[in-house]
Structure 1
Amino acid sequence: MVAIDFERVRRGAVPRVFSRVPVWQGLGGVPPTLLVLAGIVSVQIGAALATELFAATGPAGAVSLRLFFAGVVLLVFWRSSLRIERRALPVVLGYGAVLALMNLSFYEAIDRIPLGMAVTLEFLGPLVVALAGSRRWIDPVWAVLAGAGVVLLMRAGGKVPWVGVLLALGAATCWAGYILLGAKLGEKTSGGGGLALAMAFGGILMAPVGIAGAGKALLHPSVLAAGFGVAMLSSVLPYSVELEALRRIPPRVFGVLMSLEPAVAAVAGLLVLGQQMDLPQWTGIACVVAASAGATRTGRGDHV
Protein backbone atom coordinates (compact mmCIF):
# COMPACT_ATOMS: atom_id res chain seq x y z
CA MET A 1 0.00 0.00 0.00
CA VAL A 2 1.11 3.53 -0.69
CA ALA A 3 -0.14 5.41 2.33
CA ILE A 4 0.96 6.78 5.64
CA ASP A 5 0.46 3.74 7.84
CA PHE A 6 0.12 5.53 11.17
CA GLU A 7 -2.48 2.99 12.22
CA ARG A 8 -0.21 0.05 11.37
CA VAL A 9 2.60 1.45 13.49
CA ARG A 10 0.43 2.35 16.45
CA ARG A 11 -1.75 -0.73 16.21
CA GLY A 12 1.38 -2.88 16.39
CA ALA A 13 2.60 -0.85 19.34
CA VAL A 14 -0.52 -1.08 21.48
CA PRO A 15 -0.95 -3.69 24.18
CA ARG A 16 -4.39 -5.24 23.60
CA VAL A 17 -4.60 -5.85 27.33
CA PHE A 18 -5.33 -2.12 27.72
CA SER A 19 -8.81 -2.82 26.41
CA ARG A 20 -9.44 -5.05 29.42
CA VAL A 21 -8.59 -2.34 31.95
CA PRO A 22 -11.88 -1.11 33.49
CA VAL A 23 -11.28 2.55 32.67
CA TRP A 24 -11.24 1.69 28.95
CA GLN A 25 -14.31 -0.56 28.97
CA GLY A 26 -16.59 2.46 28.82
CA LEU A 27 -15.08 3.72 25.58
CA GLY A 28 -17.40 1.62 23.45
CA GLY A 29 -20.07 4.31 23.50
CA VAL A 30 -17.75 7.11 22.38
CA PRO A 31 -17.75 7.87 18.62
CA PRO A 32 -14.50 6.58 17.10
CA THR A 33 -13.69 9.91 15.44
CA LEU A 34 -13.79 11.56 18.84
CA LEU A 35 -11.50 8.86 20.22
CA VAL A 36 -8.92 9.56 17.50
CA LEU A 37 -9.13 13.30 18.12
CA ALA A 38 -8.80 12.70 21.85
CA GLY A 39 -5.66 10.67 21.22
CA ILE A 40 -4.19 13.43 19.04
CA VAL A 41 -4.96 16.08 21.64
CA SER A 42 -3.49 13.89 24.37
CA VAL A 43 -0.20 13.50 22.47
CA GLN A 44 0.15 17.23 21.93
CA ILE A 45 -0.75 18.14 25.52
CA GLY A 46 1.86 15.60 26.57
CA ALA A 47 4.42 17.34 24.35
CA ALA A 48 3.44 20.72 25.80
CA LEU A 49 3.79 19.35 29.34
CA ALA A 50 7.19 17.95 28.42
CA THR A 51 8.21 21.44 27.28
CA GLU A 52 7.32 22.75 30.73
CA LEU A 53 9.63 20.08 32.19
CA PHE A 54 12.63 21.36 30.26
CA ALA A 55 13.42 24.08 32.79
CA ALA A 56 14.05 21.41 35.42
CA THR A 57 15.37 18.49 33.41
CA GLY A 58 16.25 19.70 29.93
CA PRO A 59 14.96 17.82 26.85
CA ALA A 60 17.16 14.78 27.49
CA GLY A 61 15.92 14.44 31.05
CA ALA A 62 12.30 14.69 29.92
CA VAL A 63 12.87 11.99 27.29
CA SER A 64 14.49 9.77 29.89
CA LEU A 65 11.51 10.06 32.21
CA ARG A 66 9.01 9.45 29.41
CA LEU A 67 10.77 6.34 28.12
CA PHE A 68 11.36 5.04 31.64
CA PHE A 69 7.74 5.26 32.74
CA ALA A 70 6.38 4.09 29.35
CA GLY A 71 8.80 1.18 29.45
CA VAL A 72 7.71 0.20 32.95
CA VAL A 73 4.03 0.28 31.96
CA LEU A 74 4.64 -1.82 28.84
CA LEU A 75 6.83 -4.33 30.66
CA VAL A 76 4.14 -4.80 33.30
CA PHE A 77 1.37 -5.29 30.75
CA TRP A 78 3.44 -7.58 28.49
CA ARG A 79 5.31 -9.52 31.20
CA SER A 80 3.87 -12.79 29.88
CA SER A 81 5.34 -12.34 26.37
CA LEU A 82 8.82 -10.93 26.99
CA ARG A 83 10.67 -13.97 25.66
CA ILE A 84 11.88 -13.37 22.10
CA GLU A 85 14.02 -15.36 19.70
CA ARG A 86 17.69 -14.45 19.35
CA ARG A 87 17.26 -13.53 15.67
CA ALA A 88 14.78 -10.83 16.68
CA LEU A 89 17.17 -9.18 19.13
CA PRO A 90 18.94 -6.86 16.61
CA VAL A 91 15.57 -5.56 15.41
CA VAL A 92 14.37 -4.97 18.98
CA LEU A 93 17.56 -3.12 19.91
CA GLY A 94 17.53 -1.10 16.69
CA TYR A 95 13.88 -0.20 17.22
CA GLY A 96 14.60 0.94 20.77
CA ALA A 97 17.59 3.02 19.66
CA VAL A 98 15.60 4.74 16.89
CA LEU A 99 12.72 5.35 19.30
CA ALA A 100 15.07 7.00 21.80
CA LEU A 101 16.79 9.12 19.16
CA MET A 102 13.47 10.15 17.62
CA ASN A 103 12.12 11.37 20.95
CA LEU A 104 15.37 13.11 21.87
CA SER A 105 15.53 14.91 18.51
CA PHE A 106 11.90 15.95 18.78
CA TYR A 107 12.20 17.24 22.35
CA GLU A 108 15.38 19.12 21.49
CA ALA A 109 13.50 20.61 18.53
CA ILE A 110 10.49 21.82 20.56
CA ASP A 111 12.91 23.40 22.99
CA ARG A 112 13.95 25.73 20.12
CA ILE A 113 11.00 26.07 17.73
CA PRO A 114 7.20 26.17 18.14
CA LEU A 115 5.46 22.87 18.75
CA GLY A 116 3.33 23.18 15.60
CA MET A 117 6.38 23.77 13.42
CA ALA A 118 8.26 20.82 14.94
CA VAL A 119 5.38 18.37 14.52
CA THR A 120 4.76 19.52 10.95
CA LEU A 121 8.40 18.99 10.00
CA GLU A 122 8.46 15.64 11.79
CA PHE A 123 5.47 14.53 9.70
CA LEU A 124 7.68 14.66 6.62
CA GLY A 125 9.27 11.37 7.70
CA PRO A 126 6.22 9.12 7.27
CA LEU A 127 5.12 11.17 4.26
CA VAL A 128 8.41 10.43 2.48
CA VAL A 129 8.08 6.72 3.33
CA ALA A 130 4.56 6.75 1.92
CA LEU A 131 5.58 8.43 -1.32
CA ALA A 132 8.97 6.76 -1.86
CA GLY A 133 7.66 3.70 -3.70
CA SER A 134 4.60 5.39 -5.18
CA ARG A 135 3.45 4.66 -8.73
CA ARG A 136 0.32 6.83 -8.68
CA TRP A 137 0.29 10.00 -10.76
CA ILE A 138 -1.31 12.02 -7.96
CA ASP A 139 1.37 11.35 -5.33
CA PRO A 140 3.95 13.84 -6.71
CA VAL A 141 1.24 16.46 -6.18
CA TRP A 142 1.21 15.65 -2.47
CA ALA A 143 5.00 15.85 -2.37
CA VAL A 144 4.98 19.30 -4.01
CA LEU A 145 2.21 20.46 -1.67
CA ALA A 146 4.20 19.30 1.36
CA GLY A 147 7.31 21.03 0.05
CA ALA A 148 5.38 24.26 -0.44
CA GLY A 149 4.11 23.91 3.12
CA VAL A 150 7.64 23.63 4.46
CA VAL A 151 8.73 26.71 2.50
CA LEU A 152 5.82 28.70 3.95
CA LEU A 153 6.56 27.36 7.41
CA MET A 154 10.10 28.71 7.19
CA ARG A 155 8.94 32.19 6.11
CA ALA A 156 8.60 33.40 9.67
CA GLY A 157 9.18 36.91 10.81
CA GLY A 158 12.64 37.29 12.30
CA LYS A 159 15.47 34.79 12.36
CA VAL A 160 14.63 31.13 11.72
CA PRO A 161 16.12 28.87 14.44
CA TRP A 162 17.76 26.47 12.01
CA VAL A 163 19.17 24.22 14.73
CA GLY A 164 15.62 23.48 15.85
CA VAL A 165 14.54 22.93 12.23
CA LEU A 166 17.37 20.46 11.63
CA LEU A 167 16.54 18.62 14.85
CA ALA A 168 12.90 18.32 13.78
CA LEU A 169 14.03 16.97 10.39
CA GLY A 170 16.25 14.53 12.29
CA ALA A 171 13.17 13.40 14.20
CA ALA A 172 11.39 12.98 10.85
CA THR A 173 14.21 10.76 9.61
CA CYS A 174 13.99 8.70 12.77
CA TRP A 175 10.21 8.39 12.36
CA ALA A 176 10.77 6.97 8.88
CA GLY A 177 13.18 4.44 10.36
CA TYR A 178 10.70 3.77 13.16
CA ILE A 179 8.04 2.83 10.59
CA LEU A 180 10.37 0.54 8.64
CA LEU A 181 11.76 -1.14 11.74
CA GLY A 182 8.25 -1.40 13.18
CA ALA A 183 7.27 -3.58 10.24
CA LYS A 184 10.29 -5.82 10.89
CA LEU A 185 9.49 -5.93 14.59
CA GLY A 186 5.98 -7.11 13.79
CA GLU A 187 7.36 -9.87 11.57
CA LYS A 188 9.88 -11.20 14.08
CA THR A 189 7.95 -10.87 17.36
CA SER A 190 4.43 -11.56 18.54
CA GLY A 191 2.37 -9.66 21.05
CA GLY A 192 3.85 -6.56 22.61
CA GLY A 193 6.90 -8.10 24.25
CA GLY A 194 9.20 -6.80 21.51
CA LEU A 195 7.90 -3.27 21.90
CA ALA A 196 8.18 -3.41 25.69
CA LEU A 197 11.80 -4.55 25.50
CA ALA A 198 12.59 -1.95 22.83
CA MET A 199 11.08 0.81 24.95
CA ALA A 200 13.05 -0.38 27.97
CA PHE A 201 16.25 -0.46 25.91
CA GLY A 202 15.57 3.07 24.67
CA GLY A 203 15.13 4.16 28.27
CA ILE A 204 18.45 2.54 29.21
CA LEU A 205 20.19 4.34 26.34
CA MET A 206 18.73 7.68 27.40
CA ALA A 207 19.35 7.27 31.14
CA PRO A 208 23.03 8.37 31.16
CA VAL A 209 22.24 11.35 28.91
CA GLY A 210 19.31 12.41 31.06
CA ILE A 211 21.22 11.97 34.32
CA ALA A 212 24.19 13.93 32.95
CA GLY A 213 21.91 16.79 31.98
CA ALA A 214 19.51 16.89 34.92
CA GLY A 215 21.22 15.04 37.77
CA LYS A 216 19.25 14.82 41.01
CA ALA A 217 16.44 16.94 39.56
CA LEU A 218 15.11 13.76 37.95
CA LEU A 219 14.30 12.39 41.41
CA HIS A 220 12.26 15.38 42.60
CA PRO A 221 8.69 14.21 43.32
CA SER A 222 7.08 16.91 41.17
CA VAL A 223 9.42 16.12 38.28
CA LEU A 224 8.69 12.41 38.56
CA ALA A 225 4.96 13.12 38.62
CA ALA A 226 5.23 15.32 35.54
CA GLY A 227 7.34 12.69 33.76
CA PHE A 228 4.76 10.04 34.51
CA GLY A 229 2.06 12.35 33.19
CA VAL A 230 4.01 12.89 29.96
CA ALA A 231 4.38 9.12 29.49
CA MET A 232 0.68 8.53 30.06
CA LEU A 233 -0.49 11.41 27.87
CA SER A 234 2.00 10.74 25.07
CA SER A 235 1.87 6.94 25.02
CA VAL A 236 -0.63 4.99 27.12
CA LEU A 237 -3.76 7.13 26.67
CA PRO A 238 -3.45 7.80 22.90
CA TYR A 239 -2.46 4.20 22.10
CA SER A 240 -5.46 2.93 24.05
CA VAL A 241 -8.13 5.18 22.55
CA GLU A 242 -6.71 4.75 19.05
CA LEU A 243 -6.83 0.97 19.42
CA GLU A 244 -10.51 1.21 20.32
CA ALA A 245 -11.13 3.55 17.37
CA LEU A 246 -9.36 1.19 14.93
CA ARG A 247 -11.81 -1.53 15.84
CA ARG A 248 -14.71 0.58 14.57
CA ILE A 249 -13.51 2.73 11.65
CA PRO A 250 -11.69 1.90 8.39
CA PRO A 251 -7.90 2.40 8.44
CA ARG A 252 -8.22 5.02 5.68
CA VAL A 253 -10.45 7.19 7.86
CA PHE A 254 -8.07 6.75 10.77
CA GLY A 255 -5.10 7.81 8.64
CA VAL A 256 -6.85 10.92 7.39
CA LEU A 257 -7.82 11.91 10.94
CA MET A 258 -4.23 11.39 12.11
CA SER A 259 -3.13 13.87 9.45
CA LEU A 260 -4.69 16.59 11.59
CA GLU A 261 -1.92 16.20 14.17
CA PRO A 262 0.29 19.11 12.96
CA ALA A 263 -2.67 21.49 13.14
CA VAL A 264 -3.62 20.27 16.61
CA ALA A 265 0.01 20.68 17.68
CA ALA A 266 0.00 24.29 16.49
CA VAL A 267 -3.20 24.99 18.42
CA ALA A 268 -1.78 23.30 21.54
CA GLY A 269 1.36 25.39 21.24
CA LEU A 270 -0.75 28.53 21.00
CA LEU A 271 -3.16 27.75 23.84
CA VAL A 272 -0.88 25.94 26.27
CA LEU A 273 2.50 27.54 25.57
CA GLY A 274 1.47 30.88 24.06
CA GLN A 275 3.46 30.21 20.87
CA GLN A 276 2.36 32.62 18.15
CA MET A 277 2.57 31.72 14.45
CA ASP A 278 1.89 34.01 11.51
CA LEU A 279 -0.48 33.45 8.58
CA PRO A 280 2.14 31.98 6.19
CA GLN A 281 3.13 29.44 8.85
CA TRP A 282 -0.48 28.43 9.45
CA THR A 283 -0.87 28.09 5.68
CA GLY A 284 2.24 25.91 5.55
CA ILE A 285 0.83 23.64 8.26
CA ALA A 286 -2.42 23.41 6.30
CA CYS A 287 -0.47 22.38 3.18
CA VAL A 288 1.33 19.57 5.01
CA VAL A 289 -1.92 18.40 6.62
CA ALA A 290 -3.58 18.33 3.18
CA ALA A 291 -0.63 16.47 1.65
CA SER A 292 -0.66 13.89 4.44
CA ALA A 293 -4.41 13.37 4.23
CA GLY A 294 -4.27 13.20 0.44
CA ALA A 295 -1.46 10.65 0.38
CA THR A 296 -3.33 8.55 2.92
CA ARG A 297 -6.69 8.74 1.17
CA THR A 298 -5.52 8.14 -2.40
CA GLY A 299 -3.00 5.49 -1.44
CA ARG A 300 -5.31 3.05 0.30
CA GLY A 301 -6.36 1.30 -2.80
CA ASP A 302 -2.88 1.05 -4.28
CA HIS A 303 -1.25 -2.26 -3.47
CA VAL A 304 2.33 -2.99 -4.31
Structure 2
Amino acid sequence: MYLGAAVAVWLFAELPPSAVVWLRQLGAAAVLLAWRRPGRAAWRGRIFWLAAIFGMMTAAMNLAFYESIHRLPLGTAVALEFVGPVLVAAFGSRSVRDIGALVMVVSGVVLIADVRWAGSTLGVLFALSAAALWAGYIVLGKRVATAGLGVDGLAVGFGVATVVLSPLALGTGPAWNSPRLLVLGIGVGILGTVIPYALDQVVLRRMGPARFALLLALLPVTATVIGLVVLRQVPTLLEATGILAVVAGLTIRTREAGPRQDPL
Protein backbone atom coordinates (compact mmCIF):
# COMPACT_ATOMS: atom_id res chain seq x y z
CA MET A 1 0.00 0.00 0.00
CA TYR A 2 2.64 2.52 0.99
CA LEU A 3 4.98 1.60 -1.82
CA GLY A 4 2.09 2.68 -4.04
CA ALA A 5 1.76 5.86 -1.96
CA ALA A 6 5.47 6.58 -2.44
CA VAL A 7 5.03 6.29 -6.21
CA ALA A 8 2.04 8.66 -5.92
CA VAL A 9 4.26 11.23 -4.18
CA TRP A 10 6.63 11.09 -7.16
CA LEU A 11 3.67 11.73 -9.48
CA PHE A 12 2.61 14.83 -7.53
CA ALA A 13 5.47 16.70 -9.23
CA GLU A 14 3.60 16.37 -12.55
CA LEU A 15 -0.04 15.68 -11.63
CA PRO A 16 -2.36 17.03 -8.90
CA PRO A 17 -3.25 14.54 -6.12
CA SER A 18 -6.87 14.38 -7.31
CA ALA A 19 -5.72 13.27 -10.76
CA VAL A 20 -3.48 10.59 -9.26
CA VAL A 21 -6.44 9.33 -7.19
CA TRP A 22 -8.60 9.04 -10.30
CA LEU A 23 -5.90 7.16 -12.20
CA ARG A 24 -5.55 4.88 -9.17
CA GLN A 25 -9.31 4.23 -9.21
CA LEU A 26 -9.29 3.64 -12.96
CA GLY A 27 -6.41 1.17 -12.78
CA ALA A 28 -7.90 -0.70 -9.82
CA ALA A 29 -11.38 -0.87 -11.36
CA ALA A 30 -10.06 -2.07 -14.74
CA VAL A 31 -7.95 -4.82 -13.19
CA LEU A 32 -10.63 -6.00 -10.75
CA LEU A 33 -13.46 -5.98 -13.31
CA ALA A 34 -11.34 -7.90 -15.83
CA TRP A 35 -10.28 -10.37 -13.16
CA ARG A 36 -13.56 -10.98 -11.32
CA ARG A 37 -16.23 -10.20 -13.94
CA PRO A 38 -19.02 -9.80 -11.33
CA GLY A 39 -22.34 -11.40 -12.30
CA ARG A 40 -25.64 -9.58 -12.71
CA ALA A 41 -26.60 -10.08 -9.06
CA ALA A 42 -23.68 -7.88 -7.99
CA TRP A 43 -25.13 -4.96 -9.99
CA ARG A 44 -28.63 -5.05 -8.51
CA GLY A 45 -30.51 -4.03 -5.39
CA ARG A 46 -29.03 -3.86 -1.91
CA ILE A 47 -25.84 -5.71 -2.91
CA PHE A 48 -25.06 -3.10 -5.55
CA TRP A 49 -25.71 -0.13 -3.27
CA LEU A 50 -23.60 -1.60 -0.48
CA ALA A 51 -20.69 -2.06 -2.90
CA ALA A 52 -21.21 1.38 -4.45
CA ILE A 53 -21.22 3.20 -1.09
CA PHE A 54 -18.15 1.24 -0.02
CA GLY A 55 -16.36 2.16 -3.25
CA MET A 56 -17.20 5.85 -2.87
CA MET A 57 -16.10 5.89 0.77
CA THR A 58 -12.82 4.23 -0.17
CA ALA A 59 -12.22 6.69 -2.99
CA ALA A 60 -12.91 9.65 -0.68
CA MET A 61 -10.51 8.17 1.88
CA ASN A 62 -7.80 7.85 -0.76
CA LEU A 63 -8.39 11.40 -1.98
CA ALA A 64 -8.09 12.84 1.54
CA PHE A 65 -4.99 10.73 2.19
CA TYR A 66 -3.25 11.80 -1.03
CA GLU A 67 -3.99 15.44 -0.29
CA SER A 68 -2.40 14.91 3.14
CA ILE A 69 0.79 13.22 1.85
CA HIS A 70 1.09 16.03 -0.69
CA ARG A 71 1.62 18.31 2.32
CA LEU A 72 3.05 16.02 5.03
CA PRO A 73 5.72 13.29 5.21
CA LEU A 74 4.27 9.84 4.51
CA GLY A 75 4.91 8.45 8.00
CA THR A 76 3.40 11.53 9.68
CA ALA A 77 0.24 11.40 7.55
CA VAL A 78 -0.26 7.69 8.22
CA ALA A 79 0.19 8.13 11.97
CA LEU A 80 -2.52 10.82 11.96
CA GLU A 81 -4.77 8.76 9.69
CA PHE A 82 -4.39 5.88 12.12
CA VAL A 83 -6.81 7.62 14.50
CA GLY A 84 -9.58 5.92 12.46
CA PRO A 85 -8.58 2.32 13.21
CA VAL A 86 -7.90 3.35 16.82
CA LEU A 87 -11.50 4.49 17.21
CA VAL A 88 -12.82 1.26 15.71
CA ALA A 89 -10.59 -0.85 17.96
CA ALA A 90 -11.48 1.17 21.06
CA PHE A 91 -15.24 1.28 20.50
CA GLY A 92 -16.92 -0.18 23.56
CA SER A 93 -13.64 -0.70 25.44
CA ARG A 94 -13.78 -0.15 29.19
CA SER A 95 -10.70 -1.84 30.71
CA VAL A 96 -7.81 0.03 32.34
CA ARG A 97 -5.46 -1.41 29.71
CA ASP A 98 -7.68 -0.06 26.95
CA ILE A 99 -7.69 3.40 28.50
CA GLY A 100 -3.90 3.35 28.88
CA ALA A 101 -3.52 2.32 25.26
CA LEU A 102 -5.77 5.14 24.09
CA VAL A 103 -3.83 7.68 26.16
CA MET A 104 -0.60 6.58 24.46
CA VAL A 105 -2.16 6.75 21.02
CA VAL A 106 -3.70 10.18 21.59
CA SER A 107 -0.39 11.44 23.02
CA GLY A 108 1.40 10.24 19.90
CA VAL A 109 -1.10 11.97 17.63
CA VAL A 110 -0.74 15.21 19.62
CA LEU A 111 3.07 15.09 19.26
CA ILE A 112 2.77 14.59 15.50
CA ALA A 113 0.10 17.27 15.11
CA ASP A 114 2.09 19.78 17.19
CA VAL A 115 5.07 19.33 14.89
CA ARG A 116 3.11 19.80 11.68
CA TRP A 117 0.08 21.96 12.53
CA ALA A 118 1.84 25.28 12.04
CA GLY A 119 3.54 24.16 8.84
CA SER A 120 0.54 22.52 7.19
CA THR A 121 -2.80 22.88 8.93
CA LEU A 122 -4.56 21.68 5.79
CA GLY A 123 -2.36 18.59 5.63
CA VAL A 124 -3.32 17.66 9.20
CA LEU A 125 -7.02 18.23 8.48
CA PHE A 126 -6.87 16.05 5.36
CA ALA A 127 -5.11 13.30 7.34
CA LEU A 128 -7.76 13.40 10.08
CA SER A 129 -10.52 13.35 7.44
CA ALA A 130 -8.88 10.26 5.97
CA ALA A 131 -8.87 8.79 9.48
CA ALA A 132 -12.65 9.16 9.82
CA LEU A 133 -13.17 7.63 6.39
CA TRP A 134 -10.77 4.79 7.24
CA ALA A 135 -12.95 3.92 10.24
CA GLY A 136 -15.93 3.77 7.90
CA TYR A 137 -13.91 1.64 5.46
CA ILE A 138 -13.25 -0.95 8.17
CA VAL A 139 -16.84 -1.15 9.40
CA LEU A 140 -18.41 -1.15 5.93
CA GLY A 141 -15.68 -3.42 4.55
CA LYS A 142 -16.66 -6.06 7.09
CA ARG A 143 -20.24 -5.90 5.84
CA VAL A 144 -19.09 -6.24 2.24
CA ALA A 145 -16.97 -9.27 3.16
CA THR A 146 -19.66 -11.05 5.18
CA ALA A 147 -22.36 -10.27 2.61
CA GLY A 148 -20.54 -12.60 0.26
CA LEU A 149 -19.37 -9.83 -2.06
CA GLY A 150 -15.67 -9.95 -1.21
CA VAL A 151 -13.42 -8.95 -4.10
CA ASP A 152 -16.43 -8.81 -6.46
CA GLY A 153 -17.76 -6.02 -4.23
CA LEU A 154 -14.48 -4.16 -4.64
CA ALA A 155 -14.74 -4.46 -8.43
CA VAL A 156 -18.30 -3.08 -8.50
CA GLY A 157 -17.62 -0.37 -5.93
CA PHE A 158 -14.43 0.90 -7.55
CA GLY A 159 -16.09 0.84 -10.96
CA VAL A 160 -18.91 3.04 -9.65
CA ALA A 161 -16.45 5.37 -7.87
CA THR A 162 -14.40 5.78 -11.06
CA VAL A 163 -17.48 6.92 -12.98
CA VAL A 164 -18.79 9.21 -10.22
CA LEU A 165 -15.38 10.84 -9.76
CA SER A 166 -14.79 11.23 -13.49
CA PRO A 167 -14.61 15.07 -13.18
CA LEU A 168 -11.25 14.52 -11.47
CA ALA A 169 -10.00 13.13 -14.78
CA LEU A 170 -9.76 16.73 -16.02
CA GLY A 171 -6.43 16.98 -14.20
CA THR A 172 -4.97 13.87 -15.84
CA GLY A 173 -4.19 15.58 -19.18
CA PRO A 174 -0.38 15.21 -19.04
CA ALA A 175 -0.69 11.47 -18.31
CA TRP A 176 -2.33 10.70 -21.67
CA ASN A 177 0.66 12.12 -23.50
CA SER A 178 3.17 10.28 -21.33
CA PRO A 179 3.17 6.46 -21.23
CA ARG A 180 5.42 6.67 -18.16
CA LEU A 181 2.91 8.73 -16.15
CA LEU A 182 0.02 6.55 -17.30
CA VAL A 183 1.77 3.32 -16.33
CA LEU A 184 2.83 4.74 -12.96
CA GLY A 185 -0.69 6.05 -12.25
CA ILE A 186 -2.32 2.71 -13.04
CA GLY A 187 0.50 0.95 -11.18
CA VAL A 188 -0.45 2.93 -8.07
CA GLY A 189 -3.94 1.43 -8.43
CA ILE A 190 -2.52 -2.09 -8.43
CA LEU A 191 -0.02 -1.54 -5.61
CA GLY A 192 -2.17 0.72 -3.45
CA THR A 193 -5.65 -0.72 -4.08
CA VAL A 194 -5.98 -4.09 -5.83
CA ILE A 195 -3.45 -6.05 -3.77
CA PRO A 196 -3.94 -4.61 -0.25
CA TYR A 197 -7.73 -4.17 -0.43
CA ALA A 198 -8.25 -7.67 -1.85
CA LEU A 199 -6.17 -9.01 1.05
CA ASP A 200 -8.27 -6.90 3.45
CA GLN A 201 -11.40 -8.71 2.25
CA VAL A 202 -9.77 -12.08 2.88
CA VAL A 203 -8.80 -11.05 6.43
CA LEU A 204 -12.13 -9.36 7.23
CA ARG A 205 -14.01 -12.56 6.42
CA ARG A 206 -12.03 -14.32 9.15
CA MET A 207 -12.14 -11.79 12.00
CA GLY A 208 -14.12 -8.90 13.43
CA PRO A 209 -13.47 -5.25 12.57
CA ALA A 210 -11.98 -4.45 16.00
CA ARG A 211 -9.27 -7.10 15.73
CA PHE A 212 -8.62 -6.17 12.11
CA ALA A 213 -8.16 -2.55 13.16
CA LEU A 214 -5.61 -3.65 15.76
CA LEU A 215 -3.56 -5.49 13.16
CA LEU A 216 -3.26 -2.20 11.29
CA ALA A 217 -0.87 -1.03 14.03
CA LEU A 218 1.87 -2.28 11.71
CA LEU A 219 1.05 0.32 9.08
CA PRO A 220 2.59 3.48 10.59
CA VAL A 221 5.90 1.64 10.93
CA THR A 222 5.67 0.41 7.34
CA ALA A 223 4.86 3.88 6.05
CA THR A 224 7.75 5.46 7.96
CA VAL A 225 10.22 2.89 6.59
CA ILE A 226 8.94 3.35 3.02
CA GLY A 227 9.08 7.14 3.41
CA LEU A 228 12.66 6.91 4.67
CA VAL A 229 13.96 4.40 2.12
CA VAL A 230 12.08 5.46 -1.01
CA LEU A 231 11.39 9.18 -0.44
CA ARG A 232 14.32 10.02 1.90
CA GLN A 233 11.86 11.49 4.41
CA VAL A 234 13.69 11.35 7.74
CA PRO A 235 11.29 11.76 10.71
CA THR A 236 12.14 14.34 13.36
CA LEU A 237 12.64 13.22 16.95
CA LEU A 238 9.15 14.37 17.99
CA GLU A 239 7.53 12.74 14.96
CA ALA A 240 9.37 9.48 15.59
CA THR A 241 8.35 9.59 19.26
CA GLY A 242 4.73 10.21 18.30
CA ILE A 243 4.72 7.36 15.78
CA LEU A 244 6.25 4.99 18.34
CA ALA A 245 3.64 6.04 20.92
CA VAL A 246 0.82 5.26 18.47
CA VAL A 247 2.25 1.82 17.71
CA ALA A 248 3.00 1.09 21.38
CA GLY A 249 -0.54 1.99 22.40
CA LEU A 250 -2.02 -0.32 19.80
CA THR A 251 0.39 -3.09 20.81
CA ILE A 252 -0.86 -2.86 24.40
CA ARG A 253 -4.46 -2.97 23.15
CA THR A 254 -3.63 -5.95 20.88
CA ARG A 255 -2.37 -8.03 23.80
CA GLU A 256 -5.61 -7.38 25.64
CA ALA A 257 -7.77 -8.17 22.61
CA GLY A 258 -5.91 -11.23 21.40
CA PRO A 259 -7.75 -14.01 23.29
CA ARG A 260 -11.21 -12.60 22.51
CA GLN A 261 -13.27 -13.57 19.49
CA ASP A 262 -14.95 -10.62 17.82
CA PRO A 263 -18.47 -11.30 16.60
CA LEU A 264 -18.94 -11.46 12.83
TM-score of the aligned structures, taking structure 1 as reference length: 0.76
Alignment match, 2:94: 135
* 1:228 equivalent among 165, 182, 186: 186
Say if 1:186 and 1:257 are closer, same or farther in 2 by CA, change over 3 A.
closer
Alignment match, 2:149: 190
Percent identity, aligned pairs only?
Answer: 39
Within the alignment, does 1:68 sit opposite 2:26 as a pair? yes
Q: What is the identity, as a one-letter code, of the residue corresponding to 1:130?
A: A
Q: CA deviation at 1:61?
A: 0.8
Within a 5 Å distance, the mapping from 1:1-304 to structure 2 comes to: 43-81=1-39, 83-84=41-42, 85-156=44-115, 159-209=118-168, 211-238=169-196, 258-302=216-260, 303=262
Q: Which range moved further: 175-184 or 150-159?
A: 150-159
Question: Equivalents in 2 of 1:194, 1:245: separation in Å?
Answer: 15
Say if 1:242 and 1:139 are closer, same or farther in 2 by CA, change over 3 A.
same
Question: Equivalents in 2 of 1:157, 1:133: separation in Å?
Answer: 31
Superposed CA offset, 1:37-92 (max 9, x none) = xxxxxx22211100111122210111111111111111122115453241223222
For structure 2, the residue ranges without an aligned partner over 5 or more in a row are none
TM-score of the aligned structures, taking structure 2 as reference length: 0.86
- Conservation of the 8 A alpha-carbon contact between 1:120 and 1:285: yes
Higher relative contact order, chain-length normalized (CA < 8 Å, sep 6+) = 1
For structure 1, the residue ranges without an aligned partner over 5 or more in a row are 1-42
Say if 1:226 and 1:142 are closer, same or farther in 2 by CA, change over 3 A.
same
Q: Which range moved further: 155-164 or 112-121?
A: 155-164
Q: CA deviation at 1:134?
A: 1.6
- Conservation of the 8 A alpha-carbon contact between 1:125 and 1:173: yes
- Conservation of the 8 A alpha-carbon contact between 2:116 and 2:124: no
Q: What is the identity, as a one-letter code, of the residue corresponding to 2:86?
A: L
Q: What is the identity, as a one-letter code, of the residue corresponding to 2:94?
A: R
Say if 1:129 and 1:252 are closer, same or farther in 2 by CA, change over 3 A.
closer
Matched residue SS, 1:156: helix
